[in-house]
Amino acid sequence: EDQVTQSPEALRLQEGESSSLNCSYTVSGLRGLFWYRQDPGKGPEFLFTLYSAGEEKEKERLKATLTKKESFLHITAPKPEDSATYLCAVHPPSGGYNKLIFGAGTRLAVHP
C-alpha cells in the first residue's frame, strides 16, 4: 500500500537553530514528491516539487532534497515566521487521475 510518513510529528526550534524534517514513502515508481506549508486555519500552500533522486530545490531558508525512499526539508537559521505545519505528498504511478497521497505533517514552532 502506498504510504507517506512524516517525522517528527512536532518540532520546536529556537530562532537560528537549523534542522530537518523527514518524509519517507513506500510508493514505487514515484511520479513526484511535493512539499506544502500550512498555516493554522488556512489551506496548504505549495512550496516545492521534486521528481528524481538527487534533485534539490531551494526557497529562502528552505531546501528540499529527494532520495529513492525519502525527502528532507532542511530549514536553515529559521525565523518565527517559519512556524507552520509542513506537509509532504507523493504522486504514485497507480490511478488514472492526479492523486496525491499526503502525510500527516510536521508541526514546526520557531521561538525567538
Binding site for other proteins (CB under 8 A): 4, 31-32, 34, 36, 41-46, 49, 87, 89, 91, 97-105
> Smallest distance, Å, CB 9 to other proteins?
8
Give whole-number Cα distances, 85 to 68, 95, 108, in Å. Answer: 24, 27, 6
Least Å distance, CB 103 to other proteins, is 5
The nearer residue to other proteins, 14 or 98, going by C-beta atoms, is 98
Asked whether the beta carbons of 98 and 90 are under 8 A apart, the reply is no
DSSP string covering 12-58? EEETT--EEEEEEE--SS--EEEEEEE-TTS--EEEEEE-STT-EEE
C-beta of 13 vs 36, nearer to other proteins: 36
Shortest spacing between CB 43 and other proteins, in angstroms: 3
Question: Which helix (H) or strand (E) is 90 found in, with range?
Answer: strand 84-91
| Cβ nearer to other proteins, comparing 11 with 101 | 101
Closer residue to other proteins in complex, CB, 2/79? 2
The rounded distance, in Å, linking the Cα atoms of 97 and 90 is: 13
How far apart are CB 74 and other proteins at their closest, in Å?
21
